[in-house]
Amino acid sequence: MTDSHAPILITGGAGYIGSHTVRLLASQGRKIVVLDNLVFGHDQAIIDPQVELVVGEVGDQALVRALFEKHQFQAVIHFAAYAYVGESVTNPLKYYQNNTAEPIKLLQVMQEFGCKVFVFSSTCATYGVPDKLPITETNIQKPINPYGNSKLMVESILADCDTAWGLRSACLRYFNASGCSPDGLIGEDHNPETHLIPRVMMAVTGEIEYLEVFGTDYETPDGTCIRDYIHVEDLADGHARALDHLAAGGASVRCNLGTGVGVSVKEIITAVEKVSGKTVPVKYGPRREGDPPSLVADPSLAKELLGWVATRTNILDMVGPAWIWTTGPNAGHYPANKS
């Protein structure tokens, strides 16, 4: 059992999914310390004044050790990672260093301080090209890129740490994170931006000339790829529930976080046009190597083990808030980091 009032260390908490999770947990009255190097995170995304932001590296053991000594963390939520699949193929060592080796250093400090609760931001990329649909946790995990491999390696490391010294972990394999907070205060801002929904928004607003769609000849109803788009606030809720499960003494879990609903690229475009009232400039091209036709989750295990269910399953639930963020005061981008 862990002390529900003890501070939580959240690595990468200034990033897209991390910041929404930080906001949710802070609203529940939890004490949070965020560790983020701000390479991809944004200090402006930490909007709760009670949340402490420490700028630094997960692999800086002296820094992490000092934070543990000061706060006596009893739980860690780990988001910090690089997540560009294409870059992982051309620069695999960067990904294995940051996504696999750095968390090992964090785990070593956790072991020193007897911290045995770890919520891990994993990914459906650990499955590679699925052997069956919808994807369940029994699907073969065979990543097709170093990014997926780097995450799967951490999953294996966590299982070994559970056996060796009692570390209990939740590996949350989520599908296509999307949407933003409904009030438009925090949102999705990557550089470069590769996610579909914000790129459709960028095409509508003229930030990019057009949206490039890769492939229209897949064996899907409209010929374009189908994905499971999960709202970022549902993902945040999944992390909160996983944390509570482990804090209450629950066993390690491995769960998909998705809606179970597949949406095609063309359906995303139509939804953005409906929300924005504008036409999306589109250029259709050939398939992109490595893109499976369809990736859809079976999220039933998360419901069974964590009591978690996605509450936003209509694609307009994702696109609507994203449009608010895109057309808000910051036009979909955070100001430059102060740090």
Do 171 and 301 share a structural domain? no
- The mean per-residue pLDDT over the stretch 285-305 comes to 93
Question: Which is nearest to 265 in space by CA: 208, 315, 206?
Answer: 315
| DSSP designation for 56 | S
**Tokens, residue 321:** 């808030």
How crowded is residue 37: how many other Cβ atoms within 10 Å of its Cβ? 19
Q: Helix count (H) and strand count (E) of the chain?
A: 11, 14
Do 279 and 241 share a structural domain? no
pLDDT in tens, 97-121: 999 999 999 999 999 999 999 999 9
- Catalytic positions are 147
**Tokens, residue 50:** 């009670």
Do 209 and 95 share a structural domain? no
**Encoded amino acid at 67, one letter:** L
**Distance of alpha carbon 72 from alpha carbon 68, whole angstroms:** 5
**3-state SS, residue 35:** strand
CB 76 within 8 A of CB 59: no
Look at residue 4 in the predicted model and tell me its pLDDT.
53
Task: Assess whether pLDDT exceeds 90 at residue 3.
Answer: no
Predicted model pTM: 0.97
**Distance of alpha carbon 29 from alpha carbon 7, whole angstroms:** 10
Question: Which is nearest to 227 in space by CA: 133, 137, 138?
Answer: 133
Bridge partner list, 231: 178
1 assigned to some structural domain = no
Do 24 and 110 share a structural domain? yes
Task: Give the residue numbers spanning the domain of 304.
Answer: 196-227+260-326
Instruction: Count structural domains, the chain.
Output: 2
Task: Assess whether pLDDT exceeds 80 at residue 5.
Answer: no
Do 43 and 133 share a structural domain? yes
Look at residue 291 in the predicted model and tell me its pLDDT.
85
For residue 146, the domain's CATH number is 3.40.50.720
Do 290 and 253 share a structural domain? no
How far is residue 83 from each of residues 11, 29, 87, 193, 285, measured CA to CA in Å?
15, 30, 8, 11, 24
Look at residue 1 in the predicted model and tell me its pLDDT.
45
For residue 293, the domain's CATH number is 3.90.25.10
Do 16 and 139 share a structural domain? yes
Task: Assess whether pLDDT exceeds 90 at residue 162.
Answer: yes
